[in-house]
C-alpha cells in the first residue's frame, strides 16, 4: 500500500509530460525535412566505465509503435543492471519543485521533444533517486549516476494503449544516486 502514492505521482507526472509535449506540437515535424544526425555510440572504454549516451539506448521501433522486449539491442542488455553515467536534461514538466526532488524524466535534449506522443521511446529515461539522494532542477545538461534498468512494466500506458497506438511512455529507468 505504501507504493500507491509513488505510483499515483508517477502516473500524474507521465500524463502531464505527455500533454505538455503534445500541446507543444512535438510530432508536427516532417521526418523528410528533419536533418540527419550521426549516431555516436559510446566506445568500449566508455562502456567499461559506465559512461553511456542516448545513442546507446536506441532500438528499432516505429514512432508511436507498440513496444516489445524483443526490440532491445545487445548493447541495452549489456548495460542493464549496471551502474552508469548518462548526460541529458531534466524535463521541466516532470518535476514540481526546484530542489530536493526524488523523481524526474531525463531527456536527450532541452526542447521538451523527447517524451510522450510523437517522441522516440528511447529518448527518455525515468530517474528515481534512491535512499536519501535527491536532485535539484537545472536548465543546463546534467549527468545522472545510478543503476540502469530495462523496465517494460512500470511505464505502460493505462489499459495498454496510449495515443496513436503506443504501448509505453518509457522503458528505461535509472535508480539514481547522484545528479550533477
- pLDDT computed for residue 20 by the predictor: 40
Q: Determine how many CB atoms are found less than 10 A away from the CB of residue 126.
A: 25
- Give the three cell numbers for residue 141: 545538461
For 122, the grid coordinates are 528511447
pLDDT on residue 25: 42
Nearest CA among 139, 110, 108, 145 for reference residue 127: 145
148 Cβ partners below 8 Å, 6+ apart? 52, 79, 80, 81, 82, 83, 84, 86, 172, 173, 174
**pLDDT beyond 70 at 18:** no
Q: How far apart are CA 90 and CA 173, in angstroms?
A: 14
Burial class (CB in 10 A: 0-12, 13-18, 19+), 72: middle
pLDDT of residue 22 exceeding 90: no
The mean pLDDT of 19-32, rounded to a whole number, is 45
Question: HSE of 156 in the Cβ direction (CA atoms, 13 Å)?
Answer: 12
What pLDDT, in 10s, does the model give residues 115-155?
455 578 999 999 999 999 999 999 999 999 999 999 999 99
Looking at the domain that runs over 4-24+50-179, which CATH code has it been given? 2.40.50
Residues for the chain: how many in total?
180
- Which tens digits make up the pLDDT trace of 31-60? 556 556 678 999 999 999 999 999 999 999
pLDDT top residue among 25 and 161: 161
Q: Percent of the chain scored above 90 by pLDDT? A: 61
Which secondary-structure segment (H or E) carries 166?
A: none
Helices then strands, counting H and E runs in the chain, come out as 3, 6
Residue 30: pLDDT over 90: no
Amino acid at each position: 500500500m505504501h507504493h500507491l502514492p509513488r505510483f499515483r505521482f508517477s502516473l500524474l507526472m507521465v500524463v502531464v509530460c505527455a500533454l505538455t509535449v503534445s500541446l507543444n506540437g512535438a510530432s508536427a515535424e516532417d521526418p523528410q525535412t528533419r536533418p540527419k544526425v550521426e549516431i555516436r555510440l559510446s566506445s568500449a572504454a566508455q562502456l567499461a566505465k559506465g559512461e553511456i549516451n542516448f545513442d546507446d539506448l536506441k532500438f528499432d521501433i516505429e514512432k508511436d509503435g507498440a513496444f516489445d522486449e524483443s526490440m532491445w539491442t545487445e548493447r541495452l542488455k549489456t548495460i542493464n543492471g549496471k551502474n552508469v553515467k548518462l548526460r541529458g536534461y531534466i524535463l521541466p514538466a516532470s518535476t514540481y519543485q526546484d530542489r530536493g526532488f526524488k523523481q524526474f524524466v531525463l531527456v536527450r535534449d532541452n526542447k521538451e521533444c523527447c517524451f510522450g506522443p510523437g517522441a522516440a521511446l528511447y529518448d527518455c529515461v525515468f530517474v528515481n533517486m534512491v535512499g536519501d539522494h535527491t536532485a535539484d532542477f537545472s536548465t543546463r545538461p546534467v549527468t545522472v549516476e545510478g543503476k540502469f534498468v530495462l523496465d517494460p512494466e512500470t511505464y505502460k500506458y493505462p489499459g495498454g494503449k496510449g495515443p496513436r497506438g503506443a504501448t509505453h511512455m518509457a522503458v528505461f529507468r535509472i535508480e539514481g544516486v547522484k545528479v550533477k
